Amino acid sequence: MKRKILYLVPALYLNTAASLLYGQTLWRNPAIQDIQNIQVNKPEIGKLNDLTVSDDNVNLSTGELSPNIGLTEIKTKSLIDPIILSYKNGKGIRVNDISSDIGLGWDIGAGGSITRKVNGFPDDVTIYINPTIGVEATNPRYRKNYPKFINGWLDYANWAPIKKPKIPYLFPGTPSNNEALGGAIQRFAQKIINKQYGDGNDWFRFLFAQGTSELSGYLGGSGFPMGGGLTIADLGSMSSMGWTYIDVDGEPDEFYFNFGKYSGKFVFDGNRAPVTIPHIPGLKIESPFNSDPNTWLFTTPEGTKYYFSHTPEYTETLYSETNAAPSYDDWMGKTPEINEGVSGNEYISKWFLSKVVAVNGDTIDYNYEQMPDLLYSEKSEIKEVFKPSVGSTKTPPAYFINSGDKGFYERVLDRTTQIRIKGPKRLSLIKTSDNNTIKFEYNGLTREDIDQSQTSPSDKRRTLSSIKKFDFNSKLIEKLDFNQSYFSSQCPTYDCKRLKLDNVRRIGADESTISAITSFQYFDESLPQRNNFHQDYWGYYNNNNRNTLIPKVYTMGAMYDYPGADRTPSEEKAKASMLKKIVYPTKGSVEYEYELNDFGTDFEFPTNPVTNNKTGGLRIKKISKRESENVAPIVQSFTYKLSNGKSSGELPELLRTSTSQEDNNGAGRMFERQKIVVNEDTGQTSVYIMIYSTPKYLFTDDLLRYSRVVVDTEGKGSTEYLLSSFNTDPDYKTINYKWSRESGKGFRMIPQFMLETGYIYNIFNHPTIHTPDKSYARGLVLSKIEKDSSGKTLRETINKHNMNPTGYSPKQIFGVGTSSIDSFLVEDSDIQSMDFVLSFYKSDYVYLESTKVNDYSGNNSIVNSESNNYNNFCLLQNKNTLFSNNDLLEVRYKYAYDKSVQKLIDANIINLPIETEASKNGKLISKSEIKYDNAINIYPSSILSYNFLDNTARTDISYDLYDDKGNLLQYTTKGNQPVTIIWGYKSTEPIAKIEGITYSELASKLGFSNTNMGYKNLQIVNNSNADTNNDYEDQTLIPSLDDFRNNPELSQYRITTYTYDPLIGVKSITPPSGIRESYIYNSAGRLEKIVDVDGKLLKEFKYNYKN
Q: Determine contact, residues 159/180, Cβ cutoff 8 Å.
A: no
Amino acid 602: pLDDT: 72
Q: How far is the C-alpha of 30 from the C-alpha of 196, rounded, in Å?
A: 55
Amino acid 681: pLDDT: 87
The overall longest dimension of the chain from CA atoms, in Å, is: 112
Q: What angle (nearest 5°) sits at the alpha carbon of residue 326, between those of residues 322 and 330?
A: 110
Q: How far is the C-alpha of 48 from the C-alpha of 1081, rounded, in Å?
A: 10
- Between the alpha carbon of residue 335 and those of residues 341, 401, 402, 904, the distances in Å are 11, 12, 9, 66
Tell me the H-state helices in 504-663: 571-574, 653-659
DSSP reduced 3-state for 496: helix
Is the Cα torsion angle 61, 66, 72, 75 positive or negative in sign? negative
Residues near 278 by beta carbon (within 8 Å), at least 6 away in sequence? 264, 776, 843, 844, 845, 846
Q: Determine contact, residues 962/937, Cβ cutoff 8 Å.
A: yes
Tell me the H-state helices in 817-959: 896-899, 902-906
Q: How far is the C-alpha of 868 from the C-alpha of 879, rounded, in Å?
A: 5
This prediction has a pTM of: 0.92
What does the radius of gyration of the chain's CA atoms come to, in whole angstroms? 33
Q: How far is the C-alpha of 988 from the C-alpha of 249, rounded, in Å?
A: 51
Strand intervals (E) in 302-342: 305-309, 315-322
3-state secondary structure 760-804: CCCCECCCCCCCCCCHHHCCCEEEEEEECCCCCEEEEEEEEEEEC
Residues near 102 by beta carbon (within 8 Å), at least 6 away in sequence? 85, 108, 463, 464, 482, 484, 501
Phi, psi of 310 (to 5 degrees): -95, 50
Q: Determine contact, residues 284/908, Cβ cutoff 8 Å.
A: yes
DSSP 940-963: --EEEEE-TTT--EEEEEEEEEE-
Tell me the residue type at 161.
P
Q: How far is the C-alpha of 943 from the C-alpha of 922, rounded, in Å?
A: 24
Kindly tell me the burial class for residue 896, based on how many C-beta atoms sit within 10 Å of its own C-beta (0-12, 13-18, 19 or more): buried
Output the CA torsion 55→59→65→67 (10° steps). Answer: -30
Q: How far is the C-alpha of 329 from the C-alpha of 307, rounded, in Å?
A: 43
- Between the alpha carbon of residue 1103 and those of residues 44, 49, 1068, 1086, 1100, the distances in Å are 14, 10, 22, 9, 10
Of 428, 319, 320, nearest in space to 370 by CA: 428
Residues near 683 by beta carbon (within 8 Å), at least 6 away in sequence? 677
β pairing state of 149-151 and 172-175: unpaired
Exposure pattern of 751-764 as b/e (b: 16+ CB <10 Å)? eebbeeeeeebebe
Side-chain-facing half-sphere of 614: CA atoms under 13 Å: 15
DSSP reduced 3-state for 98: coil
**Domain coordinates in residue numbering, the chain:** 382-412+542-575+657-693
Q: How far is the C-alpha of 793 from the C-alpha of 784, rounded, in Å?
A: 11
Residues near 41 by beta carbon (within 8 Å), at least 6 away in sequence? 8, 10, 1066
Phi-psi domain of 1003 (left: phi exceeds 0; alpha: psi -120 through 50; beta: other): alpha
Neighbours of 65 (CB within 10 A): 24
Q: How far is the C-alpha of 763 from the C-alpha of 1021, rounded, in Å?
A: 77
DSSP reduced 3-state for 237: helix
Neighbours of 33 (CB within 10 A): 22
Amino acid 341: pLDDT: 58
DSSP reduced 3-state for 419: strand
Q: How far is the C-alpha of 760 from the C-alpha of 660, rounded, in Å?
A: 13
Side-chain-facing half-sphere of 1030: CA atoms under 13 Å: 7
Element (H, E) at 229: helix 227-237
β pairing state of 1097-1100 and 246-248: unpaired
Q: How far is the C-alpha of 553 from the C-alpha of 428, rounded, in Å?
A: 49
Which portions of the chain are predicted below pLDDT 50? 1-37, 45-50, 201-202, 207-226, 325-328, 331, 338-339, 1107
Of 73, 93, 92, 91, nearest in space to 83 by CA: 73
Element (H, E) at 439: strand 437-441
Output the CA torsion 321→326→327→328 (10° steps). Answer: 60
pLDDT in tens, 220-275: 433 333 456 677 778 888 887 777 778 899 999 999 999 999 999 999 999 999 99
Q: Determine contact, residues 82/24, Cβ cutoff 8 Å.
A: yes
